[in-house]
């Protein structure tokens, strides 16, 4: 599959190079060309090294998605399967402390070159989601999670789903906009449990 895709890209590049300049045809630069350009245009700073530009297979496949080129069902299935294999659930209760979860949801720092790497990262959930109703300043890139647990039931299965979704959302929906907080080491196990509690604890303001 990879080799076939690469072959097609190489052929496209070759065809693009052999045609004359002002052709209307759209040439798609190869992944190698784009990666090389990026490597020559960025410099390592703070905790963000040039390795941040190296894509894993999922990032590479998701970068090919366009309005006129939606994710093919077989590729989506392949991604979900590979990402599901990364899921790791800690033993015992997955329900942490919703008050800590709320702080994590409010905090946007972490992993930027301007951030202190010794300081824990936030989840920045409010940047994209509505959660507790007292917070009016929420984004809309992701769905509203207001009353998440109240609407779905406070079951252990739902706690496990939320833990997995925060750990690696692409294990459920390929090419999600949401970071893989657990898989990429952005949030710790305890932090993810706290976020689970923010959504799943009956006493959390999210469920009021």
- Can you give the length of the chain in residues? 208
Encoded one letter per residue, x for contact with other proteins by CB under 8 A and - for no contact, window 143-182 reads ---x-----------------------x------x-xx--
Choose, by CB under 8 A, the member of 79, 95, 186, 199 that binds other proteins: 186
Is-contact 35 64, C-beta < 8 A? no
Shortest approach of other proteins to residue 64 CB, angstroms?
8
Nearer to other proteins, 14 or 157 (CB): 14
Q: Nearest to residue 206, comparing CAs of 141, 156, 138?
A: 138
Is-contact 167 87, C-beta < 8 A? yes
Q: With binding defined as CB under 8 A, does residue 58 bind other proteins?
A: yes
Choose, by CB under 8 A, the member of 6, 10, 15, 44 that binds other proteins: 44
Choose, by CB under 8 A, the member of 6, 15, 37, 72 that binds other proteins: 37
Q: Which long-range contacts (CB under 8 A, 24 or more apart) does 136-142 make?
A: 141/177, 142/177, 142/178
Burial label for 24, CB within 10 Å (0-12, 13-18, 19+), is: exposed
Cα within 13 Å of Cα(176), Cβ side: 19
Encoded one letter per residue, x for contact with other proteins by CB under 8 A and - for no contact, window 92-131 reads -------------------xxxx-----------xxx-x-
Is-contact 8 27, C-beta < 8 A? no
Binding site for other proteins (CB under 8 A): 21-22, 26-29, 33-34, 37-38, 40-45, 48-50, 52-55, 58-59, 62-67, 111-114, 126-128, 130, 133, 136-141, 146, 170, 177, 179-180, 184-186
């Amino acid at each position: 599959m990879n080799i076939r895709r690469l072959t097609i890209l190489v052929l496209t590049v070759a065809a693009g190079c052999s045609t004359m300049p002002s052709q209307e045809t759209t040439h798609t630069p190869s992944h190698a060309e784009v990666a090389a350009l990026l490597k020559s245009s960025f410099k390592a700073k703070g905790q963000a090294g040039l390795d941040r530009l190296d894509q894993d297979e999922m990032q590479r496949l998701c970068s090919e998605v366009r309005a006129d080129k939606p994710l093919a069902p077989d590729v989506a299935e392949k991604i979900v399967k590979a990402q599901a294999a990364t899921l790791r659930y800690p033993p015992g209760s997955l329900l942490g402390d919703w008050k800590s979860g709320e702080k994590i949801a409010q905090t946007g720092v972490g992993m930027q070159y301007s951030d202190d790497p010794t300081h824990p990262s936030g989840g920045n959930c409010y940047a994209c989601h509505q959660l507790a109703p007292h917070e009016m300043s929420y984004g809309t890139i992701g769905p509203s999670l207001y009353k998440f647990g109240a609407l779905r039931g406070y079951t252990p299965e739902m706690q496990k789903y939320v833990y997995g979704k925060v750990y690696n959302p692409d294990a459920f929906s390929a090419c999600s906009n949401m970071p893989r907080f657990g898989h990429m080491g952005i949030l710790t196990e305890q932090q993810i449990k706290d976020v689970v509690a923010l959504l799943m604890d009956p006493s959390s303001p999210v469920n009021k």
